[in-house]
Amino acid sequence: MKNLFNTVIGIEVHTVINSKTKMFSSSKSDHNCKPNDNIFPIDLGHPGTMPQPNKTCIQKGITLAYALNMDISKTISFDRKNYFYQDLPKGFQITQQYNPIGRNGVIQIDDNVSIEIERIHLEEDTAKQFIDDNNNVLLDYNRAGMPLIEIVTKPCIKSAKQACDFLKELKRILIFNNISDAKLEDGSMRADVNISVNHVLSDEYGTRVEIKNINSISNVERAIEYEVNRQINLILSNKNVQQETRKFNDKTMQTEFMRLKTDAVDYHYMTEPNTYIRDISSDFINESINIYYTNINDIKNELLLSNISNEFINILLDDVNLYNAFNYLDGIVNNKQEVIKWLCIELVGILAKNNSTIKSVSVEKLDNIGNMINLLLANKINGKQAKEIIKFIYETNKSVEQIIEENNFKQITDKNIIRDILQKYIDNNPNMVEQYKQRPERGEKFFIGMVMKDTNGQANPDIVNEVLRNILG
C-alpha cells in the first residue's frame, strides 16, 4: 500500500558557526561552559545596546553559500523576528528574513539525485531550557546570541534515505570548510523535518507535520520512516492528518505529539534598526572564499585517483580529524595505500577497542606510526611485527626504535643465516620437498612458516622465499 503514496520532505537545519564570539556581541561563544557564564548586555537586549555583526560569521556564511552553489547576496542586512517566549530574553530574534545571505543552492547526493536548497541565512540562537526534577523551567543564557546558519531545503526530498544522505553531505561541507563542528548529539547542528504524504494520483500536497530537533542522522531516518507510515495508516483509515509539531522518542522509536501548528505565525518582521545595511564587495566575497573554502569533490577525486576505495573515502570524509591524520601520515610515508591500511584499519581498530578516537592520538604517536610504516616498506620489519609495534605505539610513549630493540623485533635479512635454517628443514622434510616440486605454493608455506617459527618471526619472509627458490630451483 505504501507504493500508492508519495512522500514529500523538507528539512530545516540550524548549525552553530565556529566562532570565538557570538553573532552580535563580544561574549564568548561556547555552550559547554558553566551555565550563564557567557552573558553580555547585547545578548539580553538591554536598552541602549548596539549589536555589531560578527565579520567571521558573515565570511563563513558566504563560504557556505559558495559551497552550495548559491546566489550570494551583495548586501548584508538583518531583521527582527518578534515573538514572546521564555528562552528569548529580548522579545525578538535577529535574523535575515528579507535578504538571506544565500539563495537557490543545491547539494548533489549521488549521480542522479540532487537536493535543492531554498535559502541560507544568518541569525542568533535563543537561550537553552532545562526542566528540573520539580518541573521548574531553568534557562541557560550562554546559548543566547550564539551565531547560527539556518539551511532550508525545498520540499523535494522523497525518502528517509535521501534525507540522511543530504544531512551527511551537508555535515561534511560544514566541517571541512570550518563553518561548524556540526555535532547533532551536542546540539551544534539541529534538524527539523517537515513531512507529508499524498496519493500518487493527487497533485496536491498532503498535510504537513513537523518533527523538531532530531539528535542524530540515524534517528532522522527512523523518525521519517515512522511518521510516513503513521500518516499513511491514518489516511487508509479515513482519518485526517493534523497539521502539528511532533518530536521523536528514541526509546520507543516513535514520533510523539507536541502541539498543533497553525498555517502561519505573524512574527511582525521588521528591519533591524540597530545594524547597518552593508554592501559587500566582490573582493570581500572572494577573500572569504579563499580563506575558508574546501571543495569536497576535489578531495574525493584525489583519493579516487590514488585507488582508494569508496568505503575508505567515506570513512575519511566522515571524520575530518581522521582525514587530517591521513594527510599527515602520507606526508611522512608517501604511500596512501599503506597509510589507509595502518591508519583506517589497524589504528582505528585499536581506538575502537579502547573507546577512543583519533583526536586522542598525539602528533608524536603519528610520527612513530609513519616511521614504522617506512621501516615496513624498507623490509626492516614484517607485517606481523608491525601489528604488534602499532599496539605498543598506542599504549606507550616509546619510539619505534625502542619498541623494536626491547621486543627483539629486528629483521633477519642475512641470506646465509636464513639459508642455514632453511637447509635444516629441507634435509629433515623430504616429503615436503617433493610436494614443493608438485605444488610450490604449499611447500613455500610450510618452509617459510618453519623458518618464521624458528626465528620468532624475525626472518624477512620475502628473503626466506627468495633463498628457498634458489635452493630448490
Q: Where are the alpha helices (DSSP H) in 177-317?
A: 217-236, 282-292, 296-305, 310-317
| 79, part of any domain | yes
The burial of 471, by beta-carbon neighbours within 10 Å (0-12 exposed, 13-18 middle, 19 or more buried), is given as middle
Pick from 366, 386, 406: which residue ends a domain?
406
Same domain, 426 and 399: no
Q: Report which of 72, 472, 33, 127 is spatially closest to residue 285, judged by C-alpha positions.
A: 72
pLDDT of 1 strictly over 80: no
Pick from 279, 314, 334: which residue ends a domain?
279
CATH number of the domain residue 466 falls in: 1.10.10.410
| 290, part of any domain | no
| 376, part of any domain | yes
Strands (E), 50-199: 71-72, 75-76, 79-82, 92-95, 102-108, 114-124, 128-131, 137-140, 147-153, 189-199
Same domain, 252 and 228: yes
472 confidence band (pLDDT: 50, 70, 90): confident
- Give me the residue label for grid cell 526542566: 131
CA separation for the pair 435, 439 (Å, rounded): 6
Same domain, 348 and 451: no
CA 206 to chain centre: 33
Q: Reduced to 3 states, what is the DSSP secondary structure of residue 15?
A: strand
Same domain, 45 and 80: yes
CA 457 to chain centre: 40
Cβ of 9: how many Cβ atoms within 10 Å? 25
Pick from 279, 309, 337: which residue ends a domain?
279
| 287, part of any domain | no
CA separation for the pair 18, 291 (Å, rounded): 14
The pLDDT, as a whole number, for residue 444 is 81
Same domain, 268 and 304: no
248 confidence band (pLDDT: 50, 70, 90): very high
Same domain, 258 and 328: no
Name 86's Cβ contacts closer than 8 Å, sequence gap at least 6. Answer: 129, 137, 139
Q: Which residues pair with 300 in a beta bridge?
A: none
| 285, part of any domain | no
| 288, part of any domain | no
Q: By percentage, how much of the chain surpasses pLDDT 90? A: 70
Q: Report which of 458, 429, 457 is spatially closest to residue 444, judged by C-alpha positions.
A: 429
User: pLDDT tens, 317-345?
Assistant: 999 999 999 999 999 999 999 999 999 99
Same domain, 268 and 299: no
Which is more confidently placed, 93 or 380?
93
Same domain, 342 and 461: no
CA separation for the pair 236, 2 (Å, rounded): 10
Q: Report which of 64, 67, 143 is spatially closest to residue 101, judged by C-alpha positions.
A: 64
263 confidence band (pLDDT: 50, 70, 90): low
Q: Report which of 387, 383, 381 is spatially closest to residue 410, judged by C-alpha positions.
A: 381
Tally of domains in the chain: 3
Same domain, 24 and 64: yes
| 286, part of any domain | no
User: pLDDT tens, 168-226?
Assistant: 999 999 999 999 999 988 889 999 999 999 988 888 889 999 999 888 999 999 999 99
Same domain, 260 and 178: yes
Same domain, 186 and 209: yes
Which is more confidently placed, 451 or 120?
120
402 confidence band (pLDDT: 50, 70, 90): very high
Could you tell me if 107 and 169 are in contact, meaning their C-beta atoms sit under 8 angstroms apart?
A: yes
| 284, part of any domain | no
Q: Report which of 365, 424, 422, 423 is spatially closest to residue 391, judged by C-alpha positions.
A: 365
pLDDT of 414 strictly over 90: no
Pairing of strands 209-214, 244-249: parallel
Structural domain of 365: 295-406
Same domain, 453 and 391: no
Cβ of 315: how many Cβ atoms within 10 Å? 19
The pLDDT, as a whole number, for residue 443 is 78
The pLDDT, as a whole number, for residue 58 is 97
